[in-house]
Amino acid sequence: MSDRLPRVLVVTLGGTIASVPDPAGHDAVPRLGPDELIASVPGAEHVATLRTESFRQFPSGDLSVADVVALARLIHRRAPEIDGVVVTQGTDTLEETSYLLELLLDRDAPPVVLTGAMRNAGLAGADGPGNLLAALRVAASPEARGAGPLVVFADEIHLPRFVRKQHSSRVHGFGSANAGPVGWVVEGRVRIPLLPRRREPVCSPDSVPAELPAVGIIRVGLGSGPVLPEHVTGFAGLVVEAFGGGHVPSPIVGSLAAVAEHIPVVMASRTGAGEVYESTYAFPGSERDLLEHGLISAVALDGIKARLQLILLLASGADRDRIRARYESAV
């Protein structure tokens, strides 16, 4: 039996975990590279044999879908030589990066664990080193093999399809309202007792075209007006974040139906938790009314993730039947 340590690739994308403030303790920007991040984690060398890659170095709000596709290609290319991957990035879009990787990576890809920090390295109680150590443990763990991408934060393990950043500043800033964490890290041990089945990827990263389809997202509010044709010019698809279980003001149903005749329109709940209903209500603007007018239910995906999935589905040439079937199998 081999006693070698697992080989884990640490890929850094910037963000708060890589940020340090100015001498006055303000104006933090991403500056730390992967070797500096690893040096801040006591005992990291005992968890895995570490390899590093500085992939991007900026705030996560500047990441694009194309950046994440390139990251997926990097992971795919390095897979034969590694046993796991840790990706560090800013928390603002961590849930989106993780979900895109879930949609792109093969089921037999090595464990890919994403983490970050809510407090930069210059603050008291910086959480980056602890999150990185937990992520390394998960990526190196046999329990994570076959699980697909995971998010590790504050010693909790979450699925990308459910996890959301739920607070702008608290250290325990991530949660999964629909499912809760699927595992945890305690005393260096990795526990993942609640893993569901893996789904097939939407497409391979190498098949994604350089020019991606534009998909818009709108959130309805009290008294929202109609979605006019000029609002969606240039879009190949649209996501509507509706009230509650999938409702909109009745005066805008006609405009949404007209848009849905030309491009796929996916309906998610703006609550960020629960499912879009199918047949609970039948009033004008209800979920039943919208589905009968050609909108597609996102089921339990929130609007942000529904948009990412629609981008990849359209990029892979999916027709409406395939789009609808993919959302129906999203849970």
- Which pair of structure tokens corresponds to residue 280? 């609970």
Active-site annotation holder among 16, 88, 93, 115: 16
Of 159, 154, 163, 161, the C-alpha closest to 118 is: 154
Q: Which amino acid is at 211?
A: E
297: annotated binding-site residue? no
How would CATH label the architecture of 7-191?
3-Layer(aba) Sandwich (3.40)
Check if the beta carbon of residue 215 is closer than 8 Å to that of residue 266. Answer: no
> What pLDDT is recorded for position 168?
96
Give the whole-angstrom CA distance, residue 158 versus residue 94.
Answer: 12
Active site residue 16: yes
Taking the chain (331 residues) in runs of 10, the rounded mean pLDDT of each run is 84 96 87 94 96 94 97 97 98 98 94 97 94 98 95 98 96 94 97 89 97 97 91 96 98 97 98 96 98 98 98 98 94 74
Establish whether domains 7-191 and 212-328 are of one fold.
yes
Q: H or E segment at 113?
A: strand 112-115
Where along the chain do its domains lie?
Answer: 7-191, 212-328
> What pLDDT is recorded for position 2?
56
Write the DSSP assignment of 283-296 as a string of letters: STTSHHHHHHTT-E
60: annotated binding-site residue? yes
Topology of domain 212-328, per CATH? Rossmann fold (3.40.50)
19: annotated binding-site residue? no
> What pLDDT is recorded for position 1?
39
**Quick check: pTM over 0.85?**
yes
Give the whole-angstrom CA distance, residue 159 versus residue 162.
Answer: 6
Q: How far is CA 237 from CA 92, 242, 309, in A?
A: 24, 16, 11
Give the whole-angstrom CA distance, residue 295 versus residue 293.
Answer: 6
